[in-house]
Amino acid sequence: MTAKGWRDTVPGGWIKEAGNALEYKTGSWRSIGPVFIPENCINCLFCWAFCPDDAIMVKDGKMVGVNYDYCKGCGICARECPAKNKALVMGEEG
Amino acid sequence: MAQKVAITGNEAVALAMKQINPDVVAAYPITPQTEIVQIFSTYVNNGLIDTEFVTVESEHSAMSATVGAASAGARAMTATSANGLALMWEIVYIAASNRLPIVMPVVNRALSGPINIHCDHSDAMGARDSGWIQLWSENTQEAYDNMIQAVRLAENPNVQLPVMVCMDGFIISHAMENAEVLPDEVVREFIGDYTPQKTLLDKENPVTAGPLAFTDSYFEFKRAQAEAMIQAKPYVLEVAREYAKVSGREYGLFETYKLEDAEVGIVVLGSTAGTAKNVVDKLRGQGFKAGLLKPRVFRPFPAEELATALGHLKALAVMDRADSFNAFSGPLFAEITAAMYDSGAQTKIVNYIYGLGGRDVGLGDIEKVYGHLARIAESGKVDQRLNYLGVRE
């Protein structure tokens, strides 16, 4: 986001655009994160349901990866993944 | 037709609130404010007005509900005193920083401890840096008039700040005085329909109120908030001019009394100004050039105007009905003195802390202050800056 001067702030700090939390990329908070192993994934979407942010990307009903712009590395998806060989494991991803 | 009535301060404020007919009032009773809420609730219960009256469980909730209602776009009010204001504290700041035009009568009472229910200004003075506009009242008439003006002022699109209407507990709130009240329709026309500048309830234009702002933006929001207060002053006067047209009563940033040719003067807030005017009259009758200045608007602080009005005095006493416990002075003294220093005035200034916890201030007490000023004017020297008036040694 471009840094605004005080004259350009909205009085009282009200946010007039809906959904602009998307502009606030919180992924930088992460120290370690989930690494996705597609061949192990059974597409149960537990990871998507449990993710406390919105960092599990789903396309056509299938898990397709982790959105690292918002993933904070909490590890819940990796813990909840029920596949025999886990499709999400915590590691030093980018 | 305006009507002359015998009325207490609390009754007058409750009447003003009835005439304003806010969308929402959320309040909790506390002495000496209780009657305002109690009388107002009977208006609601009797169907005279259609305010949504929320009986909350504490002042923290009262201010929270008021902030919520104002954020939703409602004309919202509450009322409190002393420890109630203290309990609201967190949300008092949020009301101002979220730029919500809330009006709140503060019936001034001493903050604990020791626990005390009587008048001093420690409650509102404590909130002086909270970002609220503060209007102070000398009597029931001024409390009523300030309430009605406060609505227009707070809601002005260029102001959008909450307003405290301060009046002395018991001395004003519970004493019956003559006052002139306006007809309901005059008040309604004066305040007009409320068009909120922002609302949480417009689903076509969704907004977020009260978001997080960290190191990269908090300072910009506070600077903008500071500017809102800096720019509020002319609107205080604009609303006062408009109000004079419907009421015949004129208000400014402060009132002066026989100050123009005075050699010594007192600055004092609230009901004590009424007492001091009597002393000024008596001293004038003895050929002693005494004068008085009573601030009405403490926030925004009219520094230049005050310094201009006071700068010709040889000696000045600033009276504080609150102590800052800073080993220096009360709050009003510190700011008046700063304004005077900035203007280059040569006036000698002393501070009197008085009336804490409702300690009575009589004519003789005020005369003593003028006597002290006469000695300072003659000698050109301040012997003692910080003085306590009416305390047993």
B252-276 mean pLDDT: 98
**Per-residue pLDDT band at A20 (split at 50, 70, 90):** confident
Phi and psi torsions of B369, nearest 5°: -65, -45
**Per-residue pLDDT band at B1 (split at 50, 70, 90):** confident
Instruction: Test B98 with A18 for CB contact under 8 angstroms.
Output: no
Q: CA geometry: angle at B98 spanning B97 and B102, to 5°? A: 95
pLDDT of residue A3: 78
B271: pLDDT strictly greater than 90: yes
Closest approach of A14 to chain B, Cα-based (Å): 5
Least confident of A24-33, A43-52, B122-131, B384-393: A24-33
pLDDT (tens digit per residue) in B152-210? 999 999 999 999 999 999 999 999 999 999 999 999 999 999 999 989 999 999 999 99
B355: pLDDT strictly greater than 90: yes
Mean pLDDT, rounded, of chain B: 97
| Same fold for the pair B3-193+213-247 and B254-389 | yes
CATH superfamily, domain at B3-193+213-247: Thiamin diphosphate (ThDP)-binding fold, Pyr/PP domains (3.40.50.970)
Q: CA geometry: angle at B310 spanning B281 and B9, to 5°? A: 60
Q: Are the beta carbons of B267 and B280 closer than 8 angstroms?
A: no
B41-68 mean pLDDT: 98
Instruction: Test B211 with A13 for CB contact under 8 angstroms.
Output: yes
- Hey, what domains does chain A have and what are their CATH numbers? 34-94 (3.30.70.20)
Q: Which of residues 185-224 of B touch A (CB under 8 A)?
A: 197-198, 205-211, 213, 216-217, 219-221, 223-224
Q: Which of A6, A17, A26, A28 to mutate to test the interface with B (most CBs of B within 10 A)?
A: A6
pLDDT (tens digit per residue) in B319-340? 999 999 999 999 999 999 999 9
Topology (CATH level 3) of domain B254-389: Rossmann fold (3.40.50)
- Cα–Cα dist B222/B217, whole Å: 9
Closest approach of A22 to chain B, Cα-based (Å): 14
Boundaries of every domain in chain B: 3-193+213-247, 254-389
Closest approach of A23 to chain B, Cα-based (Å): 14
- Cα–Cα dist B81/B171, whole Å: 14
How many CB pairs lie under 8 A apart between chains A and B? 50
pLDDT of residue A2: 63
pLDDT of residue A93: 65
B255-259 mean pLDDT: 98
Q: Taking the alpha carbons of B151, B86, B32, B332 in that order, is the dihedral positive or negative?
A: negative
**Per-residue pLDDT band at A64 (split at 50, 70, 90):** very high
